Amino acid sequence: MATAGGQRAHLIIVIGAGPAGMSAASLFSKAGHEVVVLNRDIKFGGLAEYGIFPSKLKLRGGLRKTYWDILNRPNVHYFGNVSVGDTKALTLADLRSLGASALVFATGAQGTKTIGVEGDTAVGVYHAKDVVYHFNRLPGFSESPFEMGRRVAIIGVGDVMVDIAHWLVRYKQVDQVTAIARRGPAERKYNPKEIRALCACIDQEALAGEFARIRPRLEAVGQDPGDILKGMVEEFTKCESFPTQSKMGFRFLASPRRVLTDGQNRVRALEIEETKLEPKGGDFAAVGLKTYYEFPCDSVVFAVGDRVDETVGLPYKNGIFVTSPNKTSNDPDDALFQAYDEATGKVLEGVFLTGWARKASEGLVGVAKRDGEWTAEVVVRYLESQPPRDRAALDGTLRCLKTWLADRQVQVVTIEDLRLLETAEKEAPSSQHCIGEFKFATNQEMLALIQRGRDRLRATVAR
């Protein structure tokens, strides 16, 4: 693996191969820089591979193709199965000492957000990201059982709730899924198009009953329950059809307070506090009414968004990596992309953030892609003040990186390895396809397959 192109260039290390990292890497490579992409997962794609619902094969396939094209460029060097963090294969300090012109963190929002209710560690309580990683077959999550029982309460009414409910009604075929919303139906967050996956299962009589239950509280803040219900039901068009008896419902103005358990610390119910809406800055906030009731369920999924993973080692505060509050001498907003240490009052020179690492759980793939592009523009402006390096130095840095990883016994996965893996997964008999397509469930299986492929290749060359 050597660098390609003219005499002098910049080396940029992108950490994370999801939509944001890949779009930044694409622009860097198009600008003629050498790009190293370090990725925790063996496969690239991030949530495009392990988040987007399995049945969206066209969207996932299109994104995969785009990422293959980027990673096949001669000046892009992929290092899969390489985690960056305090106790990981490489630390932030390691990366900063490598002499790259810039580091771009595109690690997404890998931390778990909890809302701090009693009982949230009981058996049967799950966090949405883990569930999503499970049904998308991310190693580490794919093999865990995720017992859901018959009645599932999902906290939150965003698109992630819809995806998890979709999995529960379509593949797990539970009896009842209920989305629990602390605010009202007008404040639902999911995209109307996404509800098509579920609308065939929504119990419309029960929904009308739920509206009747909360009618006075909606009217108290000037909302028209009839209009809101009509608007909600009008979105139930082009409903996807699949065989299931599962029912989907909603519980509004309902704030979870405690997870109630049985003698074996298993979920038996949620304790919910009734809420009302209160106008707040052009929106509505939920205010607890101090009246409580039990909502029976066998499992609870928190789908309330995520936070970043503070163990990555970047300055962190309240669920996000800290970015600079100061204006830069380039475009003033460039500061919003720069990692910043509040203790020293200084930016981490040459360290940038993008995508969900910059704004946790915000937006679709297109938003992450655009963020990657913006970050690339910011970095390219920054590079104008940095001297490029000669080819020998860039090759030396790549060699050093590889030596470190070999010394630390990390089995780095290259783009050639991924080709082998993709061929093997495509060849798997359709009887092994769990949802939509076949994916190896563990890193061990993938790494063993890759090693066998490399050994075969070596034997062929030696002959």
Ligand X SMILES: Cc1cc2nc3c(=O)[nH]c(=O)nc-3n(C[C@H](O)[C@H](O)[C@H](O)COP(=O)(O)OP(=O)(O)OC[C@H]3O[C@@H](n4cnc5c(N)ncnc54)[C@H](O)[C@@H]3O)c2cc1C
- Per-residue burial over 132-165, b = 16 or more CB atoms within 10 Å of its CB, e = otherwise: bbbbbbbbebbeeebebeebbbbbbbbbbbbbbb
Nearer residue to ligand X within complex by CB, 20 or 201: 20
Residue 41 binds: one of ligand X, ligand NAP, none (C-beta under 5 to 8 A by kind): ligand X
When asked if residue 364 is in the footprint of ligand X (CB under 6 A), the reply is yes
Separation of alpha carbons 368 and 373, rounded Å: 9
Name the residue nearer to ligand X (CB basis): 49 or 210.
Answer: 49
- 408 DSSP assignment: T
Identify which of 3, 69, 16, 82 has the alpha carbon closest to the alpha carbon of residue 352: 16
Residue 80 binds which one of ligand NAP, ligand X, none, with CB within 5 to 8 A depending on kind?
A: none
Candidate list 100, 106, 301, 383; residue touching ligand X; CB under 6 A: 106
Min. distance of Cβ 252 from ligand X in angstroms? 22
Sites for ligand X among residues 171-200 (CB under 6 A):
none
- Cα separation, 425 vs 437, in Å, equals 8
**Out of 11, 13, 17, 177, which residue is the one contacting ligand X (CB under 6 A)?**
17
By the rule CB under 6 A, 41 interacts with ligand X: yes
CA-to-CA separations, 143 to 130, 265, 377, in angstroms, rounded? 11, 22, 40
Is 48 an interacting residue with respect to ligand X (CB under 6 A)? yes
Residue (284 or 440) nearer to ligand X, CB: 440
Find which of ligand NAP, ligand X, none residue 16 binds, CB within 5 to 8 Å per kind.
Answer: ligand X
Minimum distance from residue 137 beta carbon to ligand X (Å): 13
* Dist. CA 279–CA 283, nearest whole Å: 6
Token pair belonging to 259: 């997870």
Q: Tokens at residue 351, please?
A: 């360290």
Q: Does 12 bind ligand X (CB under 6 A)?
A: no
Is 273 among the residues that bind ligand X (CB under 6 A)? no
Q: Which residues bind ligand NAP (CB under 6 A)?
A: 115, 155-161, 163, 181-183, 187, 189, 191, 194, 303-305, 361-364
For ligand X, the binding residue among 167, 356, 382, 438 (CB under 6 A) is: 356
- Among the residue ranges 95-103, 174-182, 349-357, 447-455, the one whose residues contact ligand X (CB under 6 A): 349-357
CB of 234 to ligand NAP, least distance (A): 19
Per CB under 6 A, does 434 bind ligand X? no
> Which residues pair with residue 250 across a beta bridge?
179
What DSSP element (H or E) covers 103? strand 102-105
Least separation in angstroms between residue 276's CB and ligand X is 30
Distance CA 85, CA 266 (A): 34
Q: Which residue is nearest to ligand X (CB)?
A: 18
- What residue 182 binds from ligand X, ligand NAP, none (CB within 5 to 8 A, per partner kind)? ligand NAP
As measured in angstroms, the least distance from the Cβ of 94 to ligand X is: 12
CB distance 129 to 113 below 8 Å: no
- Interface residue with ligand X among 312, 348, 401, 415 (CB under 6 A) is 312
What is the DSSP-derived secondary structure letter of residue 328? Answer: P
Most distant CA pair in the chain: distance in Å? 82
Interacting partner of 158 out of ligand X, ligand NAP, none (Cβ under 5 to 8 A depending on kind):
ligand NAP
Q: Indicate the length of the chain as a whole number.
A: 463
39: β partners: 80
Residue 85 vs 124, nearer CB to ligand X: 85
In whole angstroms, give the CA distance from residue 261 to residue 279: 35
Residue number with CB closer to ligand X (67 or 438): 67
In angstroms, the Cα distances linking 91 to 97, 104, 311, 401, 405 are 10, 14, 10, 12, 12
Q: What character string, x for contact with ligand X (CB under 6 A) and - otherwise, covers 115-144?
A: -----------------x------------
Q: Which of 37, 100, 18 is nearest to 394 (CA)?
A: 100
- Alpha carbon distance 23, 31 (integer Å): 13
Q: Report d(CA 134, CA 144) in Å as an integer.
A: 7
Comparing CB distances to ligand X, the nearer of 16 and 119 is 16
In the three-class reduction of DSSP (H, G, I as helix; E, B as strand; rest coil), residue 2 is classed as coil
Strand partners for 14: 37, 104
Q: Considering the rule CB under 6 A, would residue 18 count as an interface residue with ligand X?
A: yes
Residues that bind ligand X (CB under 6 A): 15-21, 38-41, 46-48, 51-53, 56, 83-85, 106-108, 110, 132, 160, 163, 312, 355-357, 363-365, 367-368
